[in-house]
């Protein structure tokens, strides 16, 4: 993973999920939930309870956009 990919995801304003080498995933619902270290070697991801986890870029395996959830009220005929 590169710093520029994460910066692009943050700048897009869309929610995304960071995938890690150990299989864990960390949702980033809004740009306020993530920060990049000054040298760009790790990121800090926060949750709604203001807990945080520090993630090294070297162990990130993917970045996926989070599609908006549909309530299922519309039906196709």
Position 74 pLDDT exceeds 60: no
Confidence of residue 77 (pLDDT cuts 50, 70, 90): very low
CATH number for the domain formed by residue range(s) 3-63: 2.30.30.100
**Contacts of residue 74, Cβ cutoff 8 Å, sequence gap at least 6:** none
What pLDDT, in 10s, does the model give residues 10-42?
Answer: 999 999 999 999 999 999 999 999 999 999 999
> Domain residue spans in the chain?
3-63
Q: What is the mean pLDDT of the chain?
A: 89
Render 2-69 in DSSP notation, one character per residue.
Answer: -HHHHHHHHHH---EEEEETTS-EEEE-SGGGEEE-TTSSEEEEE-TTS-EEEEEGGGEEEEEE-PPP
Q: pTM above 0.95?
A: no
pLDDT band of 75, cuts 50, 70, 90: very low
């Amino acid at each position: 993973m590169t710093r520029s990919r994460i910066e692009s995801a943050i700048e897009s304003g869309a929610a995304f999920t960071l995938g890690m080498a150990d299989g864990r995933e960390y949702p980033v619902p809004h740009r306020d939930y993530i920060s990049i270290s000054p040298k760009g070697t790790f990121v800090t991801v926060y949750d709604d309870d203001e807990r945080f986890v520090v993630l090294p870029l070297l162990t990130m395996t993917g970045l996926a956009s989070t599609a908006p959830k549909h309530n299922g009220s519309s039906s196709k005929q």
